[in-house]
Amino acid sequence: MEYANGFPMSQVGWGRATLPQIVAMSRVRPLYYELTQRAPYVASVKGSNLLSHVLATLEQAAENAGKPGAFGPAADKVTFVVGHDGNIANVAGLLGVSWVLPTYQPNDAAPGGALIFESARARATELRSCAVVHRGDARSDARRDQTEPCKPPPVFPLFVRGCSTADDGYPCPFADFERVARSAIDPAFVTP
């Protein structure tokens, strides 16, 4: 965190850590999250409620009508839900999605990272789809030291097992995404 927050290198790892060392040491964190947040039972207990509300919000947008459990009114075009990297790991575990960001270990949630659910309708066919992407920025000394221009963090399309197509961005037909998400959600852990 000291590195990401721009602390002087003398305060990063007690003055003994370089970026390559930080990357090497960070292997423990995603393993911890794999065992404590992404594991199937834990992800079900901790992530079912959030994923059910995300799904209701996507369904509400698809139907353009209010849906119980959705975040915000039906007319909203964009909805932001702020959470923790544990929430990202829970939902990612439920959906079976994975990512690798430059200078991070696989499935490590970068500070300020996000899971983004994009709902779309094809104009020609009116068919709806849903794509899931991960947004997170790579660590770099130039960015940290503000010697490189600020640009938006990259977006990485995620492949959702059981519904993603091979099309650009791995979109899921909306009905298939609903099926996969509903099968991952345990209703015993959902609060209306």
Return the CATH fold of 9-189.
Rossmann fold (3.40.50)
What angle do helix axes 85-95 and 174-184 make, rounded to 10 degrees?
110
Percent of the chain with pLDDT over 90: 56
CB 33 within 8 A of CB 85: yes
On average, the pLDDT of the chain sits at: 89
Residue 88: φ, ψ to 5°: -60, -45
> For residue 50, what pLDDT is reported?
98
pLDDT in tens, 64-110: 899 999 999 999 989 999 989 999 999 999 999 999 888 888 898 88
Instruction: Indicate the residue type of 82.
Output: V
pLDDT in tens, 110-141: 878 899 999 998 888 878 999 999 998 776 66
Instruction: Indicate the residue type of 158.
Output: L
> For residue 182, what pLDDT is reported?
97
**pTM (predicted TM-score):** 0.86
Task: Find the largest Cα–Cα distance for the chain.
Answer: 59
Q: Taking residues 29-35, report their average pLDDT.
A: 89
> For residue 144, what pLDDT is reported?
66
> For residue 141, what pLDDT is reported?
62
CB 170 within 8 A of CB 158: yes
What secondary structure does DSSP assign to the chain, as a single string? -TTTTT--GGGGGGGT--HHHHHHHTTHHHHHHIIIIISHHHHHHHHHHHHHHHHHHHHHHHHTS--TT-SS-TT-S-------HHHHHHHHHHHT-----TTS-TT---TT-EEEEEEEE-TTT--EEEEEEEE-PPP-HHHHTT-S---PPPEEEE--TTT--SSTT--EEHHHHHHHHHHH--GGG---
Q: How far apart are CA 186 and CA 170, in angstroms?
A: 25
Q: Taking residues 144-148, report their average pLDDT.
A: 68
> For residue 122, what pLDDT is reported?
81
> Over 90: is that where the pLDDT of 24 sits?
no
> For residue 6, what pLDDT is reported?
79
Confidence of residue 192 (pLDDT cuts 50, 70, 90): confident
* Residue 179 Cα distances to 31, 70, 160, angstroms: 29, 17, 12
